[in-house]
Amino acid sequence: MANEYDLIVVGGGTAGLSAALTGACYKLKTLVIDAASAGGAMMNNYPWKVVDNTLGFRNLKGKEVAEIFVNHVKDEGVEIHEKEGVSDIKRTGDAITVETSKGKYSAKAVVVAIGMLGTPFKLGIPGEDLENVFFTLADPNAYAGKKTLVVGGGDTAVEWAVALDKGGADSHIIHRKDVFRANEKNQKDLDESGVNIHWFTEAKEVIGDNGKVKSVRLINNQANEETIENYDYVFFGIGSITSSDFLEKIGVETDERKRKIRVDDSMRTNIEGVFASGDVVGTWIKNPQAIGEGAYAAINAYKYIKKPYWGEDVGR
């Protein structure tokens, strides 16, 4: 017999923890399951990053904010299982079964909040699998005195380049256009840093020596000129792809690229009793939206489970 809960939240990032907190506040027996450590990207990928876009938090780093979130949820009685990957979610009669690497659980409703930290997006160029090529940045200070290259033009790439510069690296960033997608604050930080910016530049090959990065073959897409520049480390900050295999397996409807789960105005998926929230459904991949969506998904899960007189029926 599977362990029984009212609400199971798959994913322990910002959206998942927000959903769990709301579930606990409405006295739902709630379980959070996360394949890594609870806290999501702030804990596992950006522990060094200052969180400045979330109301009430200033001058705190990702790990510190994540710990506050996790402890708050635990204090409300939510059970959290870490390092336990979910392999399947399926409806069985009136219940939903969640299968993991460690067992089976039963719930009346499920919120999927797995974020976008799936498979890192790659360009498909030679050398991306060399030892000194990374798709995350856990500790910018670890590369002091080294020559680093960041590939990308969004907030992530710009933040990495600036963090590496502050950490003492000879930091470079390339972008295929002459304007970044990053927000104005991050661009201002970049302008005030010592980061070397290379416009209209794309990586065509990472060249290795004994399995480690030696240099990168670059092309200026305006002048159509190739150069080879030496680097010690390369960071690809061009996003990630949520596991489409997992989404297809559990049967939720996704967008055309199979990267985001489709939900309605109540955060419902096409599967009865299964809701979704956060980066895996959102258009703005930031904490504020994840917090709101997670809570909203959970309150609608509560309405689905309890059917209170004051809430519209969100059942299918």
pLDDT in tens, 180-213: 999 999 999 999 999 999 999 999 999 999 999 9
CB 105 within 8 A of CB 98: yes
At 308 the pLDDT is: 92
At 45 the pLDDT is: 82
* DSSP single-letter state for residue 100: E
Terminal-residue alpha carbon distance, the chain: 26
CB 251 within 8 A of CB 271: yes
Q: What does the pLDDT average to over 38-56? A: 90
Q: List Cα–Cα distances, 182 to 128, 148, 156, 157, 171, in angstroms.
A: 24, 19, 8, 8, 17
Could you report the per-residue pLDDT of 109-164, keeping only the tens digit for each? 999 999 875 678 889 999 999 999 999 898 999 999 999 999 999 999 999 999 99
Could you report the per-residue pLDDT of 69-87, keeping only the tens digit for each? 999 999 999 999 999 999 9
Percent pLDDT > 90 in the chain is 81
Tell me the C-alpha distance between 251 and 246, whole Å: 9
CB 11 within 8 A of CB 112: yes
What tokens appear for 40 in the block? 């999501």
Tell me the C-alpha distance between 158 and 285, whole Å: 16
Tell me the C-alpha distance between 296 and 19, whole Å: 7
User: Where is average pLDDT lowest: 154-158, 168-172, 282-286?
Assistant: 282-286
Could you report the per-residue pLDDT of 223-269, keeping only the tens digit for each? 999 999 999 999 999 987 777 788 999 999 999 877 899 999 999 99
Angle at 248 between CA 283 and CA 5, to 5 degrees: 85
What tokens appear for 227 in the block? 């150069």
What domains are defined for the chain?
A: 3-118+242-306 (3.50.50.60), 119-236 (3.50.50.60)
Average pLDDT, the chain: 93
Instruction: List Cβ neighbours of 226 (8 Å cut-off, separation of 6 or more).
Output: 204, 217, 218, 219, 220
At 282 the pLDDT is: 83
User: Where is average pLDDT lowest: 34-48, 115-129, 167-181, 295-309?
Assistant: 115-129
Output b/e per residue, 28-63; b: 16+ Cβ within 10 A: bbbbbbbbbebbbbbbbbbbbbbbeebeeeeebbbb
At 79 the pLDDT is: 97
For the cut 70, the answer to whether the pLDDT of residue 2 exceeds it is no
CB 107 within 8 A of CB 98: yes
At 153 the pLDDT is: 96
Can you tell me which residue has the tokens 């690296």? 169
- In the chain, which ranges are E strands? 3-10, 30-33, 50-51, 60-61, 79-81, 86-92, 95-100, 104-112, 119-120, 133-134, 147-151, 170-174, 196-198, 201-209, 212-220, 225-230, 233-236, 240-241, 274-276
Rg of the Cα atoms in the chain: 21
Q: The dihedral of CA 289, 295, 300, 305: what is its sign?
A: positive
Instruction: List Cβ neighbours of 87 (8 Å cut-off, separation of 6 or more).
Output: 99, 100, 101
Q: Which long-range contacts (CB under 8 A, 24 or more apart) does 243-247 make?
A: 243/114, 243/118, 243/119, 246/86, 246/114
For the cut 70, the answer to whether the pLDDT of residue 167 exceeds it is yes
At 27 the pLDDT is: 98
